[in-house]
Amino acid sequence: MVLESISTSNEEVDRQLGGGLPIPSLILIEGEHGTGKSSMVAQFIRGLLNGNKKVLFITTESGIKEYIEKMKMITYDFRRDFLQNRLSILPVNVDGLSWSPKQSKLLLPVIGRFISVNSKKAEVTVIDSLSALTLYSDSNTILDFFTKCKNFVSKGMTVIITMHPKAVPEDVAMRIRSSCDGYMRITPTTIAGRSVKVMEVVKLIGSSSQVSSQFSFDVDQSFGIKIVPLSMANA
């Protein structure tokens, strides 16, 4: 399959990724809560939408209105894309509804079927984050879901997934990471008293040029994702 490189609509991020996002591909982004996973994914979504890709966004962390308002605060205004059905948002957590362990075990297979049914309506599926969906899932269910994601990619869909570390057993996590075309890790750090996030691009198959092994960034309210050179962080 011929890969296409698509801009994230942020020249600095494109440079760090070796030219942009290679699509179609299966990309996993790991990081603890508050490390900027959702903001980085929003940057990817902005680029994909600007590249005329239709996106299905599945969130386990917020409702539709809450997500749109939160992203608008950091310059990612998705209102028009949502109203034009270029961005579809599926919130998995519904206010007032509590999931039993038995119900929760069914979530991953149901999400997999939902993506399959909507595969002709969206060229990109983003899940932020998968951790809530794997809480009560067994290893086979999780691995089956990623196998489905690989099948979606083979048919031309790009799948981007965020996940917290230790959300799945380590042996399963190793198999998941190896199956992905792109694997990135985000960790928080403090340099000279300044808090920044560090993204390590462990692998990114299909990038158009050399990929930086890691880079530091911050989330700027008026700019979005902003790369922070280590020399500046040390200043």
For residue range 166-199, what is the model confidence (pLDDT) as tens digits? 999 999 999 999 999 999 999 999 877 888 999 9
What is the rounded average pLDDT for all residues in the chain?
A: 91
**pLDDT (mean) for 214-219:** 92
DSSP string, 99-144: --HHHHTTHHHHHHHHHHHTTTT-SEEEEE-SHHHHTT--HHHHHH
For residue 234, the model assigns a pLDDT of 47
pTM, entire model: 0.93
Contact 119, 157 (CB under 8 A): yes
Structure-block tokens of residue 168: 């799945």
What is the CATH classification number for the domain harbouring 160? 3.40.50.300
Task: Tell me the residue range of the domain where 179 lies.
Answer: 4-233
User: Domains in the chain: how many in total?
Assistant: 1
Contact 7, 201 (CB under 8 A): no
For residue range 105-160, what is the model confidence (pLDDT) as tens digits? 888 999 999 999 999 999 999 999 999 899 889 999 999 999 999 999 999 999 99
